[in-house]
Amino acid sequence: MEQFIQENIWILILIGLWSIPWKGVALWKAARREDTQWFIFLLIVNTLAILDIIYIFKFSKRPLTPAENHTHQ
């Protein structure tokens, strides 16, 4: 395993460069919307940014409830 990592370090770097910005945006949106369960789930689960992208484009677009909207004013 260690040899594979050493021989393919560029793959790990590319994965990191791909995943970190998506995770950051997804966590930021979840925190701003007070989606605590999503925040924890996104923080713990690493899916090469697939779950983060789904959250950003699908779940963070849903309208805020009246209670959520009140806390953001």
Mean pLDDT score, 16-43: 94
Q: Is the pLDDT of residue 3 over 60?
A: yes
pLDDT (tens digit, 9 = 90+) per residue, 33-64? 999 999 999 999 988 899 999 999 998 887 87
Q: Is the pLDDT score of 6 beyond 80?
A: yes
Joined together, the tokens standing for residue 43 give 């923080």
Contact 25, 56 (CB under 8 A): yes
Q: Is residue 70 pLDDT above 70, yes or no?
A: no
Contacts of 30 (CB under 8 A, 6+ apart): 36, 38, 39, 42, 55, 60
